[in-house]
Structures are given as C-alpha cells and as structure tokens.
Amino acid sequence: MTRIVGEIREGVARLVSAAGGSPEEIVAAIDDLGVPVVADIVLAELRHRADLGTYTGVEVRFALRHGGDTVSVHLPGEPSGAAPDAVVEQSLAEVVQGLFGPRGPRPAATRVLRWRDLDSREFITDPPPTFAVVRRLLDAIDRPYAAGLAELCVRYGSDKWGIHQYPRHYEHHFDAIRDRPLTILEIGVGGYADPGRGGASLHMWKRYFPRASVFGLDITDKSALSEQRLTVLAGDQSSPTDLAEVVAQTGPLDIVIDDGSHVSAHLLASFGALFPVLRDGGLYVLEDLQTSYWPNFGGRADVFDDPATSVGFLKQLVDGLNHEDIEGRQPRATDAAIGGLHFYHNLCFVEKATNLDGAPPSWIPRS
C-alpha cells in the first residue's frame, strides 16, 4: 500500500512538472509512467475537482487517447454496463495539461463530446443533469483556476469564510502563486478528536492550488483522510520532535498555515521549527490571533507586547524588519530572513525573504 501511495505521489509530481513544459514532455512522462497509472491519477483528480456528490445517477465515460491506444475512465463510479450518458474523447496528454498545467489557454483541441440522448425531445424541453455533470468535469480540465476561495470554503465547509473572513486576504497573497507546484502544510485538520472528521480546508487548498502537494498535521491521527495530492500526518504542533518528523515527510515548504490549537506557546514552537524550512519567498500564515488576548489560550489582555503571546511575538518581528537601523540590537535569527509582515483582522502573513537592504547613511544623526 505504501509503495502504491509513493508511486502515485511520484507520478503526480512527474505529471505536474511535465504539464509545465511542452506537449512532448507530457507525452514522455505518460510513456514513462504508463497509461494505466496516468489514467488512475486523472480519474482521482477529476473526481475530486468535479465533486459530483449528488449527481450519482449520471454516467460519463472519458475515452483518453495516447499513441494508438485508448484508455477509458468512468465517472462517478464503475461502469454500469449500459451506454454512458455522455462520452468525452480527448488526448490523454491534453487532459493532463489541463488538469496540472499552469495558467494559460486550454483549447481542448482534441476533444469530441457525444451525448447519448441527443435526439430526445426532452433534451430541449427539460435539460438533463448530464449537462451539469459534464460541465463540472470539463471545468476541472478547462478552468482549474476559476473557483474563488470563499466559494471553495463553502463547498468544502471550512470556517475560513463565514465565521472568519479570510479568503480575500488569502487571495491577495496567493493568487499570483496559485499555479505553482507548491508544497503546503496546514496545521490543524479540523474535526478535533474524531479521526474520521475534518479536512475541509485541506480539500479547499488542494482544489485552489491544482498543482500543489498539500499536507495536513493534527494531534489526532487523521491519516485516513489522505488521498492523491493530500497527505495527513499525526503530531503535536508544540513538539519539535514531531515537527522534525513532519518536515522529513514534506521537505522544504512554500506555505505554512497555522490553524491548530491557537495556544500562543504552540504557535511560537511551530514557528520556531517550521519557519527555517520555509523556502525563500515562502509565506507563513497565522490564523485566529484573537486568542493572543484570551488567557485560556495562553494570551493576555492586560499587556499587549508580551513576547510569549502570539501577537506580542509578531510585534517583535516588526522591529526585526528594521534591525539594521537599531543601534546596539542583539541580532536574531529571523531579523535578516523576514522581508514582510502583513497584519489583518486575526490573521498575519509572514514573508520569508532576505532583509538586508542596509541602513540609511551613517552621517545622519541618530540621537
């Protein structure tokens, strides 16, 4: 099982990489991985993106051509044996490019779409659910960057929209990098002590970033929620040992989102362990900072600059932005590594970037 999961993960990484290149590179990747493996990856991706939930009664067949062969995948489930409601014929390479390629035109130049009941009069008077199903499936290939984050929060049930109003801030920072093959870790899977519950925001990130590898970490073992492009790990965000094991699995990170316990000491421990493994240009996001003022979460409302609270700690990082201008300052590891801090209601984005612009000329009197 582990070997199969590993193969799929490597296969997806290979396809994502190839989809950023030429059509020939995609064809070569399919040849190397084998058509059945690629068809399985395509099927899982279509299922996730189209999210067909209630449309169980409609059968669609994708006939995917590669070289002289055609491989078929069926949605939403196994073929019933009857003629499918719709058949989509397309080259496998073009579907891979659509699913895993960066932003850009998707001409669907090799696609043929056939409706089984085209001659039926009801097709005009009473459009069938097949139309909606096929549109969702084709949107997964043709418009992978169309859905907004608030819409995806609602679709998957994340409280980042509704209780919080985070999507517009996330989109402000994430839209420009949405089509990159990022590695993303979110602390806090959701569902608390129930191993089978949670994953709303992880599904949202997986859908929002169609080329990314998404990892989730929770103190409750929710590894059963793992699937293609989504790995759920168990561990305590306040334990450096657990976090080292997490990093051994993820490798360098592009984005970390802390939506875990919201206990200040835990936030600081995770930041200390994970910020160093963030890639240059990466973003570290801390959610629900209101708890910095709530004693139940290790916060304080009597003083506002206690560095043991999450917001007090972040305020210190603001001074670090100007570290070259502060005479006699004891250097800190983060001083030269944080290029920006963006504060919003209950939310902060920390930008990892070299911060060594230099102080203004020394002849300007300081005191």
Ligand X SMILES: C[S@@+](CC[C@H](N)C(=O)[O-])C[C@H]1O[C@@H](n2cnc3c(N)ncnc32)[C@H](O)[C@@H]1O
Closest C-alpha among 232, 239, 241 to residue 188: 232
Write each residue from 180 to 199 as x if it is in contact with ligand X (CB under 6 A), else as -, in one continuous string: ------xxxxxxx-----x-
Check: CB of residue 351 under 8 Å from CB of residue 340.
yes
Position among 90, 97, 158, 355 found at the interface with ligand X (CB under 6 A): 158
Residue whose pair of structure tokens reads 């979460």 in the numeric block: 297
Q: Please identify, using beta-carbon distances, which residue of 14 and 262 lies nearer to ligand X.
A: 262
Check: CB of residue 47 under 8 Å from CB of residue 16.
no
Query: Distance between CA atoms of 105 and 13, rounded to whole angstroms?
Result: 22
Q: What is the Cα 321 distance to its own chain's centre?
A: 28
Q: Which of residues 281-310 bind ligand X (CB under 6 A)?
A: none
Query: Distance between CA atoms of 102 and 20, rounded to whole angstroms?
Result: 6
Check: CB of residue 138 under 8 Å from CB of residue 88.
yes
Residues near ligand X (CB under 6 A), total: 24
Interface with ligand X, residue 237, by CB under 6 A: yes
Q: Please identify, using beta-carbon distances, which residue of 100 and 284 lies nearer to ligand X.
A: 284
Interface with ligand X, residue 258, by CB under 6 A: no
- The span of 34-42, 156-164, 301-309, 311-319 binding ligand X (CB under 6 A) equals 156-164
Interface with ligand X, residue 20, by CB under 6 A: no
Position among 33, 93, 214, 219 found at the interface with ligand X (CB under 6 A): 219
Interface with ligand X, residue 141, by CB under 6 A: no
Two tokens, residue 241? 């040992």
What angle in degrees, to the nearest 10, is found between the helix axes of 23-33 and 92-100? 110
- The span of 23-31, 169-177, 215-223, 248-256 binding ligand X (CB under 6 A) equals 215-223
Q: What is the Cα 226 distance to its own chain's centre?
A: 13
Minimum distance from residue 267 beta carbon to ligand X (Å)? 10
Position among 200, 255, 256, 347 found at the interface with ligand X (CB under 6 A): 200
Position among 160, 169, 229, 323 found at the interface with ligand X (CB under 6 A): 160
If you write DSSP's letter for every residue of 205-264 in order, what string do you get?
Answer: HHHHSTT-EEEEEESS--GGG-BTTEEEEE--TT-HHHHHHHHHHH-SEEEEEE-S---H
Q: Please identify, using beta-carbon distances, which residue of 228 and 238 lies nearer to ligand X.
A: 238
Q: Which residue type does 169 have?
A: H
Minimum distance from residue 73 beta carbon to ligand X (Å)? 30
Interface with ligand X, residue 259, by CB under 6 A: yes
Q: Which of 48, 169, 203, 262 is catalytic?
A: 262
Q: Is 262 a catalytic site residue?
A: yes
Catalytic residues: 262
> Which positions lie near ligand X, rule CB under 6 A?
158-160, 186-192, 198, 200-201, 217-220, 236-238, 259-261, 266
